[in-house]
Amino acid sequence: MSDQDTPQATPNPRTAAPSDPEPSGPRLSRRRLFGVAGAGVALAGVGAAAGYAAGSSAGSAAARDGVVAFRGDRQAGIITPAQGRLHFVALDVTTPDPAAVRRLLQRWTLAAERMTAGLETTEGGAVGGNVQAPPADTGEALGLAASSLTLTFGIGASLFAKLGLDAQRPAALADLPAFTGDKLDPARSGGDLCIQACADDPQVAVHAVRNLVRMGFGTTSVRWSQLGFGRTSSTSTAQTTPRNLFGFKDGTNNLKAEEPAELDRHVWVQPGDGPDWMAGGSYLVARRIRMHIEIWDRTSLSEQEIIVGRTKGEGAPLGRAAEFDTADFSAKGADGEPVIATEAHIRLASAESLGGVKILRRGYNFVDGTDGQGHLDAGLFFIAFVRDPATQFVPMQRALSTKDVMMEYLEHTGSAVFACPPGLGPGSYWGQALFDA
């Protein structure tokens, strides 16, 4: 049935219940019905934000189950306790017009704030609008809870030249150098913008990305997209340490939300670090790391533990008993060799070996079908937030890429760096400080 077959100007009686005297009746009742999905969420702030002027809704919403505050000093989705599912999308801007991008960012921000509150992109967006128009919301999250959705926004280095904003580009937002063993696919790397959607329900994360992508038609197009499950790091002391697809607990020594001084030192961009618009933000480094799980699975447990530097079961540093025991990198075994091998992953990645470098990891496991060679295409979608990629991620990855035995089982297939601005004050929108600068 084509558009020509469908009446476009008048309400279609097919969509009205025969027993209902008013064509708008059933639609209104559906609207009321789905209002229930968001009924637990205070909306005064959200509605008022439509004018970019009113106060924050985050305060009241944050206290409610499954709703993470959208506005605040920091963007959500960085030190927010890592949710279970990820949909990450990198987009390219298809226009040279900064004003068009600014308008999109304004619209995105409103929709993102609503979706993190468990609502449609606009009031009644899925089924409550004009039936002769495409719905403003695609609808697949109707009836689903907010699910701790966070939407974290970032800007890639390539955007600045494209929009004539070079003067505002932070020096820290540079392309990463090539690392030993990189097998980067350009189709899985880079991007002018990114949106990281994390939630406890994958359909909620997918719905959010899909609707933001849709709003971007004509201004942005999808460059690459990655789904993930099974967070591979904790970002709060309240969380247990999850396991990666090598079967090891991953991220035991990750920075945590409960360490504000460490976060200021290692994660949050400080005033004076670069352009003002990034102060309070953080740099997101994404690496798609294919794990050759089939080869890993053929190595002995002993070899695996030596490579990692931790026991597989408990996750304790070798030579210690419990996961959170401090690794003793100076301990020697009866044979005079270090208990934690010289080239063990945890030693190479440790602050001790890297002159104090720490990062906030927030990655996810993935399985993307098959590799066409009879194996699963599986691995780790590594995400880290750092104050400066050049002084934190680069030396760490340089050490790992040249010395870490684990690299025999890994292949870095995608790479990107994004500048994630600070959090949103009342009425402000994603990237506003950059565009206003």
Q: Which two tokens stand for residue 131?
A: 């039936």
C-alpha 354: how far from its chain's center? 26
Q: Please identify, using beta-carbon distances, which residue of 70 and 224 lies nearer to its own copies.
A: 224
Spatial separation of the C-alpha atoms in residues 116 and 197, rounded to whole Å: 10
C-alpha 197: how far from its chain's center? 5
Q: Which two tokens stand for residue 332?
A: 């020697």
Q: Please identify, using beta-carbon distances, which residue of 416 and 424 lies nearer to its own copies.
A: 416
Q: Please identify, using beta-carbon distances, which residue of 340 and 433 lies nearer to its own copies.
A: 340
Q: 169 vs 90, 276, 383, 435, CA distance in Å?
A: 18, 11, 21, 11
Q: Please identify, using beta-carbon distances, which residue of 303 and 352 lies nearer to its own copies.
A: 303
Q: Please identify, using beta-carbon distances, which residue of 40 and 247 lies nearer to its own copies.
A: 247
Least distance in angstroms from the C-beta of 323 to its own copies: 11
Cβ–Cβ < 8 Å for 212, 57: no
The DSSP 8-state label assigned to residue 243 in this structure reads B
Least distance in angstroms from the C-beta of 181 to its own copies: 15
Nearest-Å Rg of the Cα atoms of the chain is 24
Four-CA torsion 324, 327, 328, 334, nearest 10 degrees: 90
Least distance in angstroms from the C-beta of 28 to its own copies: 10
The DSSP 8-state label assigned to residue 240 in this structure reads P
Least distance in angstroms from the C-beta of 142 to its own copies: 6
Least distance in angstroms from the C-beta of 59 to its own copies: 31
Least distance in angstroms from the C-beta of 297 to its own copies: 5
Q: Please identify, using beta-carbon distances, which residue of 329 and 393 lies nearer to its own copies.
A: 329
Q: Please identify, using beta-carbon distances, which residue of 11 and 81 lies nearer to its own copies.
A: 11
Least distance in angstroms from the C-beta of 26 to its own copies: 7
Q: Which is nearest to 173 in space by CA: 313, 294, 269, 311?
A: 269
Is the Cα dihedral 219, 221, 223, 224 positive or negative? positive
Spatial separation of the C-alpha atoms in residues 320 and 332, rounded to whole Å: 12
